[in-house]
Amino acid sequence: MSFSNLEQLYRQVIMDHYKNPRNKGLLQEDGYHEVHLKNPTCGDDITVQVKVEDGKLVDLRHQGTGCSICCSSASVMTQTLKEKTLDEAQNITNNFYELVKGNEYDEDLDMGDSPVYQGVSKFPARVKCATISWKAAEQAINELKK
Amino acid sequence: MSIDVNRIREDFPILKEKMNGRPLVYLDSGATTLKPQAVIDAVNCYNTKTTSNVHRGVYQLSNDATELYEGAREKVKQLINAKTSSEIVFTKGATHSLNLVAQSFGLYHLKAGDEIIVSELEHHSSFLPWQHVARVTGAILKFIPLDSAGHITIENFKKVLSEKTKVVAINYVSNVMGYESPIKEITALAHEVGAIVSVDAAQAVPHMKIDVQDLGCDFLSFSGHKMCGPTGVGVLYGRYDLLNSLEPIEFGGEMIDIVGETTSTWKDAPYRFEAGTPVIAGAIGLGAAIDYLESIGFDAIAQHELELRQYAVSELDKLGGITIFNRDAQTGIISFNIDGVHPHDAATIYDAEGICVRAGHHCAQPLMGWLCQPATLRASFYLYNTKEEVDAFVEATRKGKEFFDGVFF
Ligand SMILES: Cc1ncc(COP(=O)(O)O)c(C=O)c1O
């Protein structure tokens, strides 16, 4: 293991999302459904809001504290899933879970910036950091489907 | 009183392994320690030469196993200077021991309004069992306020001690701060009001000479795996008259005296607390670990850890930009953060360099709240660590700082 793996992990895109997070801050408006998740082992703590209209994710927001991988991934997730239908969002999310584990994934799906997280697969201890916001969004969507 | 680290390192086969292609630098002995060949051999020997259950067979093999198992109990007794080996219960680990005290004593002896004193410095295993007892019985949990550096002091202990206090449950050495609590003084004060004292010594017994009779505490718990022993074995020491008056929390084979259809009676302590087949291989391994540590000497081990700690702190200070949370601790634990870098990000840098340090809340969430940190980094030293390893650790810290300064700012 070397610093080139680290550089791979902390690619510029990730650092950019960490320093300048998109869609950050929760909204107190109607129509947002919220899920709060914590990773008790490392203290990552993230809240995700989703807004669905006509079966489409019209907005996603996030807020929380955690490491750079966790916080940047929340930003990337909100960008990637915005304007997607609920089914598309689920497919993209599942695809993301595969790519962070270093498994084969569908490169034809519109994954936004999220493939930069492939570097995480070399650091299995960090997979949870990269996926926690995606899990929160997934849970929010599933709760809305009920 | 110095120790020959290079010779000691020969005793630990795992130190020949590589981590991420680099020599393993293991600085997480607070979580669990590496195992010397003598311990591995003792466990192997039981599994290959003396396998059989204890206290049951009338045949020679079972006799041999029983002697080894009870011999380990005797070693523990001597290690902590208990009065008799009947005061030594083998458990699954410190967590099991601490729960045993809370349930056997707490659930039967506490009532609504009684008070249990704990501290914000506790490991979850030390205070959660009492939080549960408080919920069930209506007793009240009181936290010793920490001083400005995070110590438990006698002065602050007196502020929460009262006639209502029935139990004091505190750590001997904090797994995050590495501070030593004034157990002897606290025990004397607690006994004046008739309270019992249960000590979480998981981070103390591996690193210093302990004398339970001198401390005067009623219970003391620790784990084998944090002192070069195997996982899955721990110890509960209990003052005999008190221990022998408690109800068991687990029932089954080997703990019984006479069994009837509606009521039964139990063996005397320690056996009433060892239901079922005990951790035979684990206890034998722990016995070997005690022999090993005593052959090196606890004072020498403590001295070595302190030297490494002081060296590491002074080198980290030279780097700048490092916050150390337990500057004045006298044990081998350093809790710190690299300013501006989340501990989880930092831990990955160490990992890439083959260095094992802990990142997280260290099973001490109340303390993280007190420190106002979501998590911290912890390096913890033991007898096999070297100055060169401290250098590698400090160098990785420097690289990490540089790397993140580069990507973040
Ligand atoms: C202070 C303290 N108490 C209790 C424990 C629990 O020990 P175990 O997990 O071996 O039961 C630990 C282990 O991390 C500890 O550091």
Phi, psi of A57 (to 5 degrees): -80, 100
CB distance B126 to ligand 1 below 6 Å: yes
Angle (CA) A21-A22-A24 rounded to 5° is 80
Question: The tokens 């390893």 sit on which residue?
Answer: B389
B314 membership: H or E segment, kind and range: helix B298-319
Question: The tokens 């466990």 sit on which residue?
Answer: B43
CATH topology of domain B40-294: Aspartate Aminotransferase; domain 2 (3.40.640)
The CA distance from B72 to B42, in Å, is 11
**Between chains, do B20 and A3 touch, taking CB under 8 Å as contact?**
no
Is it the case that residue A31 has pLDDT exceeding 80? yes
Assess B348–A contact: CB distance below 8 Å, yes or no. Answer: yes
Question: Residues A84-93: what's their mean pLDDT?
Answer: 96
CB distance B123 to ligand 1 below 6 Å: yes
Assess A39–B contact: CB distance below 8 Å, yes or no. Answer: no
Specify the pLDDT at position A124. Answer: 87
Q: Which residue of B has its CA nearest to A42?
A: B360
Q: B333 C-alpha to center of ligand 1: Å? A: 14
Q: Are A105 and A94 in contact (CB under 8 A)?
A: no
Q: B202 C-alpha to center of ligand 1: Å? A: 5
Is it the case that residue A12 has pLDDT exceeding 50? yes
Which sequence positions of B are flagged as catalytic?
Answer: 363
Phi, psi of A39 (to 5 degrees): -105, 100
**Between chains, do B344 and A65 touch, taking CB under 8 Å as contact?**
no
Kindly write down the DSSP assignment for every residue of B269-312, as one continuous string: TTGGG--SS--HHHHHHHHHHHHHHHHH-HHHHHHHHHHHHHHH
Specify the pLDDT at position B408. Answer: 52
Tokens of residue B219, six digits: 């219970």
Question: Residues A79-106: what's their mean pLDDT?
Answer: 96
Show me where the domains of chain B are located.
Answer: 40-294, 297-408
B316, B305, B307, B310: which is closest to B400 by C-alpha? B316
Q: What is the ipTM of this complex?
A: 0.75
Tokens of residue B74, six digits: 């005797």
Task: Give the residues of chain B that fall short of pLDDT 50.
Answer: 409
CATH of domain B297-408: 3.90.1150.10
CB distance B94 to ligand 1 below 6 Å: yes
The CA distance from B335 to B313, in Å, is 10
Q: Are B96 and B279 in contact (CB under 8 A)?
A: no
Q: B224 C-alpha to center of ligand 1: Å? A: 10
Kindly write down the DSSP assignment for every residue of B233-261, as one continuous string: -EEEEE-HHHHTTSPPS---TTSEEEE-S
Collapse the DSSP code of B110 into the 3-class scheme (helix H, G, I; strand E, B; otherwise coil) and give the result.
coil
Closest partner residue to A10 (CB to CB) among B21, B359, B407 is B407
Q: Which of B121, B125, B127, B220 to mutate to test the pocket of ligand 1 (most atoms within 8 A of CB)?
A: B125
**Atom number, ligand 1, closest to the C-alpha of residue B95:** 11
What single-letter amino acid sits at B50? T
The CA distance from B101 to B91, in Å, is 12
pLDDT higher at B19 or A34: A34
Q: A81 CA to chain B: closest CA distance, Å?
A: 26
Q: Which chain B residues are Cβ-neighbours of A126 within 8 angstroms?
A: 344, 348
pTM: 0.90
Collapse the DSSP code of B332 into the 3-class scheme (helix H, G, I; strand E, B; otherwise coil) and give the result.
coil
Question: Confidence band (pLDDT; 50, 70, 90) for A1?
Answer: very low
Assess B378–A contact: CB distance below 8 Å, yes or no. Answer: no
Specify the pLDDT at position B378. Answer: 97
Closest partner residue to B375 (CB to CB) among A5, A42, A69 is A42
Q: B30 C-alpha to center of ligand 1: Å? A: 9
Assess whether the region B40-294 and the region B297-408 belong to the same CATH fold: no
Interface test with A, best of B124, B337, B342 (most A CBs within 10 A): B342
Collapse the DSSP code of B330 into the 3-class scheme (helix H, G, I; strand E, B; otherwise coil) and give the result.
coil
Domains and CATH numbers, chain A: 3-145 (3.90.1010.10)
